Chain A
Amino acid sequence: MTPFTSVTGIAAPMPLPNIDTDVIMPKKFLKRIDREGLAQGVFHDLRFDENGNERSGFVLNRAGYRNARFIVAGRNFGCGSSREHAVWGLLQQGIRAVIAPSFAGIFFGNCEKNGLLAVELPEDKLTVLLETISDGDRAELTIDLDAQKIRPAQGAALEFDIDAGLRRNLLLGLDHIEETLQYADDIRAYEVKNGLVSEPSRGSADA
């Protein structure tokens, strides 16, 4: 997983609440058994019309925002389906962080596991940020996770809160499974204590 320390790039405003994962990654891009080729799917039906032509009004098709690395959106971003394809696709599209007042639970967890930073920014600060980036020429930001600050190219920096464990995982880009397997003995002890296994689990013979 790519660590997230400090990233600079364009932020695209999407000031709507409840942007769901069906919209972020439509169903026709979910029929793969690998994680590849998902950039084309990101916001597909908003980006392209039925003939595959770009819709000029959509923010990621507009001058200034085309190479956005951040999305700034309304509350409950990523609601709906659990599809992690939404997060894989955003990363493949070049998006490194989403800033919103709140996120749906499964999406938030998927972000962490893939190194996509989900910044929970209170509504009042979000309103300021949306105003700052409303002009594509002024939409560059630096998100500094170590300092927990969003620094617009112009204007005052905005501080944000983040869970300490989540911050550490993102800064270090840790392998979550490797981290948990440090506790393998605790897991085996739990299974034995609760009568779940007759002999300690060690996984299937054929890995």
Chain B
Amino acid sequence: MTRTLYDKLCDSHTVRKIDDNRLLLYVDLHIMNEYTSPQAFAGLHAAGRPVWRPEAHLAVVDHVNPTRAIASLDEMTDNDARLQIENLGRNCARHGIELFDLFDRRQGIEHVVVPENGFAHPGKVIACGDSHTTTYGAFGALGFGIGTSEIEHVLATQTLVYTKLRNMRVTFTGEMPPGLTAKDLVMAFIAKVGVSGAVGHAVEFAGAPVNLLSVEGRMTMCNMAVEGGARVALIAPDATVFRYLQGRPRAPKGRDWDTAKQEWASWQSDPDANFDIDIDIDVAAIAPQVSWGTSPHQTCGIDGEVPAPEHANDPMERAAQERALEYMGLEPGQPLGAIEISHAFIGSCTNSRMEDLRAAAEVLKGRKVSAGVSAIIVPGSLAVRRQAEAEGLDRVFIEAGYEWRNSGCSMCLAMNDDILDAGARCASSTNRNFEGRQGTGARTHLMSPAMVAAASVAGHLVDYREFLPGAQT
């Protein structure tokens, strides 16, 4: 029987079947952060259970930490956040779990530092108490988000009780228009299928435009696929992935490297594997994407306009659109390119890696942020920050008027002090535009980092390709 890549990942990690629909899935690597893990450790301690296999876990501080430089936790003004960071440190020490603490050179957003340090390999199962764990699909790894009870379950048993998903393949076809990015592909996918379009499915992204993406671009796609309802996203690993991994601290070395590479190449869907849903998306027709509403599928090309809710295909969607327009302070028919912004944010596990920062810098070089726009850049990790500084990108950002910060999740979900006031309107390289996501009453427009950079200069949403060298002005 032929199998998809997803089927193979599940089969190879099945410890045993539990019943007709459930299996016990082995977790190779479990990642934790400071805000979804405390109650899992507390549950474990209350039950007197040990951690099953401490070396199969990694913890990272990223969600609640300030991104302004501090010398010690004593400088944190948010006591609850400090307690979460200290608590993670205590829990990791107690159980012998590796921790990238706030002052570790390797600190950063979990889904940035895990790949960066070579932990994510083809064929692995990686779970984490964060919905964007789909990121690891870029390596042909089965990555998925879990809740706190499941974190406790993985700590205690190294497994999860798992119900298999159905298979969906999304094949991108055609030639990439100049300047189009991975973010635009995944946003176009979400706009096409809706935020629940892939619920219950593992999505495999395929096609030449995807295979031409860098690993960083593939991470952006798999990361944000969860906003289309996909609990799992995958891209078959290839030479691009192997090149990315070679030499990273936790990648196999020497003879192990050769063996691993050979094994990794086998993680592919069979040529005639059956997908429950198969859809094609022509990239030639896609313009840089921006969201206009309060759900990630409420998105269209920058050349488009705010839609009229009466054209929605069902009453609930119409009600949702009306509500979204009210929250966003927008009118049907308004051109997206005319929407003025007050803030710009470049960061998040979706778009904060070197490729993202280079793309933003290309737009910002020699330009200034528009008067009245506040702009910050939060690199995905301290390693990204150091590399950007080595390339002189920090100077470009600072001279353009951006604040250049340390690393963390920051204004993507605004759990720390990087939070917007009601009425602020932000061009954001993040993944969610929900009501209140970046602050109660704040309005978020999702887009790629280069699009954020261009909007911050123009003062309104704009096609960033007008700012590239050689563009007609």
List residues of A whose CB falls within 8 A of some B CB: 15-18, 20, 22-23, 26-27, 30-35, 45, 50, 74-76, 79-84, 87, 102-107, 109-110, 113-114, 163-165, 176-177, 179-181, 183-184, 186-187, 190-191, 194, 196-197, 201-207
Contact = CB atoms under 8 A, between A and B. Distances in A.
A33 B83 contact: yes
A163 B153 contact: no
B161 A180 contact: yes
Contact of B54 (A30, A74, A204): A204
Contacts of B231: 105-106
A87 B21 contact: no
B432 interface: yes
Nearest to A107: B147
B145 A82 contact: yes
B186 interface: no
Contacts of B95: 204, 206
B22 A82 contact: no
The interface centre, meaning the residue of A20, A31, A205 with most chain B CB atoms within 10 A of its CB, is A31
Nearest to B151: A84
Interface residues of B, number: 76
A183 B15 contact: yes
Q: Lowest 7 CB-CB distances: which A-B pairs, in order?
A: A203-B50, A113-B149, A76-B196, A31-B80, A33-B38, A110-B147, A84-B147
Contacts, number: 197
Contacts of A106: 131, 145-147, 231
Interface of B: 15-16, 18-22, 24, 26, 28, 35-36, 38-39, 42, 45, 47-54, 56, 64, 78, 80-81, 83-84, 87, 94-96, 129-131, 145-150, 152-153, 156-159, 161, 163, 165, 195-196, 199-200, 229, 231, 295, 316-317, 319-320, 323, 413-415, 422, 432, 434-437, 440-441
B15 A187 contact: yes
Contact of B158 (A107, A114, A201, A204): A201
B199 A105 contact: yes
Nearest to B82: A31
B26 A207 contact: no
A81 B413 contact: yes
A111 to B, nearest CB: 9
B147 to A, nearest CB: 4
26 contacts: A16-B320, A20-B432, A23-B435, A34-B42, A45-B440, A79-B196, A80-B434, A81-B130, A82-B147, A84-B36, A104-B196, A105-B165, A105-B199, A106-B147, A110-B147, A176-B153, A177-B153, A180-B161, A187-B24, A187-B26, A194-B26, A203-B52, A204-B50, A204-B96, A206-B50, A206-B94
Contact of A207 (B20, B50, B434): B50
A16 B316 contact: yes
Nearest to B431: A80
Contacts of B145: 82, 106
Nearest to A181: B157
B129 A187 contact: no
B26 A190 contact: yes
Contact of A202 (B26, B50, B436): B50
B19 A165 contact: yes
Nearest to A207: B50
B28 to A, nearest CB: 8
Given A23-B435, A75-B196, A79-B196, 16 more contacts: A18-B195, A18-B295, A18-B320, A22-B434, A22-B437, A23-B434, A27-B436, A33-B38, A34-B42, A80-B432, A165-B19, A177-B47, A180-B159, A190-B26, A196-B56, A204-B96
Contact of B35 (A31, A105, A109, A194): A31
A184 B405 CA distance: 46
Contacts of B153: 176-177, 180
Contact of B150 (A109, A179, A184): A109
Nearest to B87: A33
A22 B157 contact: no
B444 to A, nearest CB: 11
A163 to B, nearest CB: 6
Contacts of B35: 30-31
B319 A104 contact: no
B51 A23 contact: no
Given A82-B131, A106-B131, A201-B158, A16 B319 contact: yes
A181 B436 contact: no
A82 B130 contact: yes
B303 to A, nearest CB: 26
Contacts of B432: 20, 22, 80-81
B197 to A, nearest CB: 9
Contact of A204 (B51, B146, B163, B229): B51
B15 A186 contact: yes
B51 A50 contact: no
Nearest to A20: B434
B16 A186 contact: yes
Contacts of A79: 195-196, 229
B119 to A, nearest CB: 15
Contact of B21 (A20, A113, A163, A177): A163
B231 to A, nearest CB: 4
A176 B26 CA distance: 15
Contact of B147 (A32, A109, A180, A197): A109
Nearest to A16: B320
Nearest to B435: A23
Contacts of A45: 435-436, 440
Contacts of A27: 413-415, 436
A81 B295 CA distance: 13
A50 B422 contact: yes
Contacts of B18: 165
B24 A186 contact: yes
